[in-house]
Chain A
Amino acid sequence: MSENELIGRVIDGDESAFRRLVEDYQDMVIRTCNGFVHDREDAHDLAQDVFVEVLESIHKFRRESKLSTWLYRVAVNKSLNFVSRQKRKQWISNLENALGGKGYDIIDKSGDSDKEMINNERSRILRQAIESLPQNQKIAFTLNKYEELSYKEIAEVMNVSLSSVESLIHRAKMGLQKKLVHYYKK
């Protein structure tokens, strides 16, 4: 079944076609969301929202780009919205803790092995460094590194030129390098 045929059948309300679409693209969408939110469960929940949106608005899809490009756009937008909501929640929670004098929660990591703790710490450092990048750099870097998209594919998803993607990724690497060197040379 061609992509156009699949889209047509989904628009016509064919459930088996929608199932096929989900099964074809679920890995890609979940991986993309995970690249931004860094949490498997959240990535699955966000992917559900992506496919619900696909179902609701596929009739508006003009088929000027590939279906995967459109799916990437929806997944990136939903993930970025989720991350900014999480940041707001974190800010409120920190404020409540500060006002209530509860302080920070102490996570019991006694069950974790040393290696796991070090890996978690490295993951946290990297996530913070990526999170601190400007939004377009973060999108380009994440699609390139987590989803292994080529610069050309990223340009299509972000609707920018190839040279812009090159520049965004170069600056993202410079930014990460600066943050990580600063952290490890402290």
Chain B
Amino acid sequence: MKCREVHNKIYFFIDNDLAEEEASHIREHIGQCDSCRHLYEEMMATVSVIEREKQVEINPFFYTRLQQHIQNNEPVYVRKPSLIRSLQWIPAALVIIGLVIGIILGNAYYKSWTYADTSDRSENIQSLKETYFIGEQETESLAYSFYNFENNEE
């Protein structure tokens, strides 16, 4: 039997759901394969948690508590929405509103830049060039540099 076959049947083996022949093949494999034995032990311990959790200690005063509960006439988990409970959505709502406003503003700014008046735009680019690109190819093209060089040579 291969490890993969054991993995596909290990829960049913633990739960005693397999025919004896199949179970004995798995038992044999687990005896020889460290990895599958480890898996079996871990899964066995995990599944046995159910047996432990089944043992619920019942409160001896359950009926007394129930009587009080009925007299108070308050369901334990169906509470009226209080101000605090309704406020718990505010952080999530603020984030969503913030994101929407950000997207709208970003979009508006992008559009104003893209579709702005061309004369203003060229002025803007010119001022940027003067500030940041002096002496670089943005303002002095390669051809212009050669022209200057030749003139100087003369």
Contact = CB atoms under 8 A, between A and B. Distances in A.
B35 to A, nearest CB: 8
Interface residues of B, number: 37
Contact of B47 (A27, A92, A96, A126): A126
B56 A40 contact: yes
Contact of B56 (A22, A43, A49): A43
Contacts of B58: 26-27, 30
Interface stretch (B63-71, B106-114, B116-124, B126-134): B63-71
A52 B75 contact: yes
A181 B39 contact: yes
A184 interface: yes
The DSSP consensus for interface residues of chain A is helix
Given A30-B56, A31-B56, A180-B11, A48 B39 contact: no
Contacts of B39: 181, 184-185
Contacts of A176: 11
A164 B108 CA distance: 58
A150 interface: no
B42 interface: yes
Nearest to A34: B56
A146 to B, nearest CB: 6
Contact of B49 (A19, A34, A123): A123
A45 interface: yes
Contacts of B49: 119, 122-123, 126
Nearest to A145: B50
Contact of A95 (B11, B12, B91): B91
Contacts of A46: 76-77
A124 to B, nearest CB: 9
Given A26-B63, A122-B46, A173 B56 contact: no
B30 interface: no
Contacts of B34: none
A160 to B, nearest CB: 21
A117 interface: no
B22 to A, nearest CB: 15
Given A19-B63, A177-B12, A146 B76 contact: no
B15 A173 contact: yes
B146 interface: no
Given A31-B56, A34-B56, A119-B52, 12 more contacts: A30-B56, A34-B53, A40-B57, A44-B59, A44-B62, A48-B66, A49-B75, A92-B89, A125-B46, A126-B47, A177-B11, A184-B42
Interface of A: 19, 22-23, 26-27, 30-31, 34-35, 38, 40, 43-49, 51-52, 55, 81-82, 85, 92, 95-96, 99-100, 119, 122-123, 125-126, 145-146, 148, 173-174, 176-177, 180-181, 184-185
5 contacts: A26-B62, A34-B53, A46-B77, A49-B75, A92-B92
Give the top 9 A-B pairs by smallest Cβ distance, nearest first: A177-B11, A45-B76, A122-B46, A184-B42, A99-B91, A34-B56, A123-B49, A181-B7, A48-B69
